[in-house]
Chain A
Amino acid sequence: MGLARASHAGAHLLDPAVLGRIGNLELLARTVVDGFLTGLHRSPYLGFSTDFAEHRQYMPGDDIRRIDWKLFARSDRHFIKLFEADTNANFSVLLDVSASMGYGSHDVTKLEYAKYLAACLTFFTNRQRDRVGLVTFDHDIVDYVPPSMKHLDTILHLLDRANAAGAGSLKGPMVKITELLGRKGIIAVISDFYEEPDEVIGAIRTLRARGHDIVAFHVMDPAELGFPFEDPSGFEDLETGEQIPVVPARLRDDYTRLVSEHVETLQRRFTDNRIDYVLLDTSKPLDLALFKYLLARERATRKR
């Protein structure tokens, strides 16, 4: 199937090498990661399945075929037998395409890295017959593809065309996305989170409150993390165009400290809100990062 897609626009985002390693991850996940692979998503709905969940008293309007007649024979009361259903989950990627995502100190910009990530996740999830959707946003929603089994092509196409532009903000887009994504599902938020942690959490919490299972991918360039600049220069904000003169040697320590604090704060606050948080360094291999995340999630699931 992956080869068949190769001729499609956006297919280049599906790096065969990455997909190959993801495929291995799938095999691994099939056995160890509950809720991420085909048929193993823990559905938030009760439905038809072989796994019994509970009994509920019959209410007028319920399908009489679902009445547990054996129990009626024993107790002379009508109960409905409920099963925990394995469903097709909704998987949506929320991709930040603000101008800051266009930064890259080496071959790959943050947006390109995020596109790979989004493509891999989307392709991979769709392959498990889950519905996939995409929302790109800066300070507003740029593109929206509702979750569907048939939307992979559209998503890959949109990913291919996405450009980093405009100022970024989480709050506005998240409120709108909350309204767009009515059905609960899994949401991957891919952004550089250049906002105060309170604002980030505040924006994403609205989604969490609607019952979505959220994974936050924090994409950072190594230059943003390590600040390896030497020459005194004017630094220009990619989103606002503002310039300030900077002597990097004098600011590096303070900068890296502030970034570390920011990452730590986000990590803590996301965890507090039961949101998975993954920091991705664009200089690191994508599959390795994903692998690490999946391992971590697997462990967490086992604990549950």
Chain B
Amino acid sequence: MSLAFLVPLFLLGFAGIVVPIVVHLTRRQRKQVVAFPSLMFLEKIPFQEQRRRRIQHWFLLSLRALALILLAAAFARPFLNQSDLTLAGTSGPREVVVLLDQSYSMAIGDQFERARDEARDIFNDLGPLDRASLIMFGQGARVVARSTSDRILLQAALDAVEVSSSATRFGPALKVAQTVLEESELPSGEVFLLTDFQRIGWTGDEGVHFPAGSKVTPIQFAGDPPDNIQVTDVALAREAVSGRERITPTARLARRGGESAREVMVTLELDGQELQSRPVTLDPNGSAAVTFQPFTLSQPHTRGTVRVEEDELAADDAKHFVLSPGSALSILILEGGPASVDASLYLRRALEISEDGRFSTTYRRTSTVRPQDLDGTDAVILNNTNIDGASAERLRSFVEAGGGVLVVLGEDTGWPGSAADLLPGTLGTIQDRMQGRGGRLGFLEYGHPIFEPFSGPRSGDFTGARFFRVRGFAPSDSATVLARFDDGSVAMAELTRGRGSVIVWTSTLDSFWNDLALQPVFLPFVHRVSEYIGGRAEALPWFDAGQLVDLADPDALKAAGLVSAEAAGLAAGLEQVALTPSGRSLALPAGDGPRYLPLDESGFYTVRPPGSDPDRPFVIAVNVDLEESNLTQLDPEELVAQLTSPAPGPGAGREFAESTTLRREDQERRQSLWRWMLVAAFALLIIETAVSNWVSRRGTAAVAT
């Protein structure tokens, strides 16, 4: 072991001790100067003043010199070089990776604190040449400290971590650990997995395999499963009453564990104010639904929470949601054909029937689209209409700006050739399906938002409808066919242009060419089509923790329920700031690119322009992933068995250890001798100040007497 310096150049500072010596030798001259008219007579006197050449205060001089030496040495970053230490008896330095679970289930009892203490012990037990990483994980993995031997850094990182709102996923964290071990030059690796080993976090096909010889030490932190009650869902039924929207919230509760029936109080809060409370009795491992009294929704971005009494696992005891009053879709129906035929009767009636009054229809018998027709209109339905070229061009602009058009083909339907590219294909002739009992719908694209609600069993049956006459339609390459008849001909096709789309329905929506209008599925079908082309996306009342929202994407904002005028700057790319549920501020600087807001915490995220305090800011509700409440445990050994490979032969670590030396920087950082030297130097300077003041006072007093 020898003393070495990390920055020996600073040792040149030793030359600084010349300064106090010179000061001590010369300061007597400068102490007092007397102006005298002439030295004519004084110079004639043979006398040599010798006192000034003598150092009088050796103690002060040594204090000053020592302080300077310590300062210079501290800047040179000294350390005791231990690279020659033998590592006999060890298997060589280790690459230690600590994976610490921060999912919200770790908040049960003192699990997280115990896990943190365990990690602290692991870091304290590191050998002089070991390196360690700290990886926090929930749904994702975050490397807090990577392959460092700086224990102070590791401990500080540990102090800063907290339980998050995310669920457990072992895969990402184990993959990061695998990468750390693979990149490590050290001979052996050891992974400490500190978690409650929830089964939901491990699927078994993560494909993680640690390098050969790596050791995995699972440390489980879990007690008996608590009696946990969670709010699993909140249904928010809307209904229009006297032109205002009323919401009837229904909360679903589930209980895991427990031994006997238990009554809990369920509370509904709106904008932070408690609105209603209802008692509900839950059996062990049972569930229940609570319907609250309806309330009128008048303000946009209204925050709501359904809450049960807090238990050991508090994160799932509340369900947050955000609601805004819905606005009616404005739909323009243009009908052509002879005046004696009301081809839009069923269509209009269907749109008029809605509990929440979400459609506002305008009906005109014309084949011309006027510019004012499209103002404030969300969707246009051309029912058996032969429009002119100018109208088609207006519709083109309308679609590209985000509007939707449904073209219902009939006998009189025509389309100007100049706008042929606006249709998802070309119109053909009328075809009769008089054989048998007519045609049927043979294929529906259930993945499409229009048909997605009908995908489940007993969710609407299109097969009952008979189609006796259809209009031939040849879809273009860029079109998407959404429905086909049983003979393969196109029933419905979509073309997306700009931000909007044009959908063609190749039969009528009345009872002349088919009997779809007489089927029960007609009403929801018309509603879905209208909502789709009108661009209505049902706003999500909440997000799950761990999701991202792109605040620069208008569609994402719409899905997130953005209606407030104050938050309009979001879509315009203006600077915004997001306040997290825990009170942190996240800056969302102005710009054109995507602006992702990570929703890591459960609660309400408020987004507003910086420095402003809007009355109804844009709010996003975030709830925890309820999967995490499932505390069913995994056998740690099962997990370990899938991760590890057999250890390499003995001796490999020893060989490596002999050739490995701890980096000089690491040794210096670990010893931090410079701190002590600085402290000593400052202490010496303080003593020097006190002594020199005392000497100075004593000298003055002696002269005065």
A positions within 8 Å CB-CB of B: 99-101, 103, 110, 192, 194-195, 221, 224, 229, 231-240, 242-247, 250-251, 254-255, 258-259, 262
Contacts and interface: CB of A to CB of B under 8 A. Distances in A.
A242 B35 contact: no
Interface in B22-45: 28-45
Given A229-B34, A234-B29, A245 B41 contact: no
A236 B35 contact: yes
B703 interface: yes
A303 B52 CA distance: 58
Contact of A221 (B31, B37, B44): B37
A229 B42 CA distance: 13
Given A110-B37, A237-B39, A238-B36, A232 B45 contact: no
Contact of B29 (A239, A245, A258): A245
Contacts of B29: 234, 243, 245
B437 interface: no
B49 interface: yes
A281 to B, nearest CB: 14
A103 B36 contact: yes
B45 A255 contact: yes
A245 B37 contact: no
Interface in B14-67: 28-45, 47, 49, 51-52
What's the interface size class on B, roughly? 20 to 34
Interface of B: 28-45, 47, 49, 51-52, 703
Contacts of B28: 232, 245
Nearest to A262: B41
B49 A246 contact: yes
A244 B37 contact: no
A110 B38 CA distance: 13
A232 B51 CA distance: 10
Contact of A244 (B32, B42, B51, B703): B42
A259 B41 CA distance: 7
B49 A242 contact: no
A262 B38 CA distance: 13
A15 to B, nearest CB: 24
A240 B49 CA distance: 20
B45 A236 contact: no
A224 B32 contact: no
Contacts of B31: 233
A221 B34 CA distance: 15
B33 A233 contact: yes
A244 B44 CA distance: 12
B52 A231 contact: no
Contacts of B703: 231
A255 B42 contact: yes
Contact of B36 (A110, A195, A235, A250): A235
A243 to B, nearest CB: 7
A236 B34 contact: yes
A-B complex: 9 closest residue pairs judged by Cβ atoms:
A100-B37, A245-B49, A103-B37, A194-B38, A258-B41, A233-B32, A237-B39, A234-B33, A233-B34
Contact of A194 (B40, B51, B52): B40
A244 B703 CA distance: 21
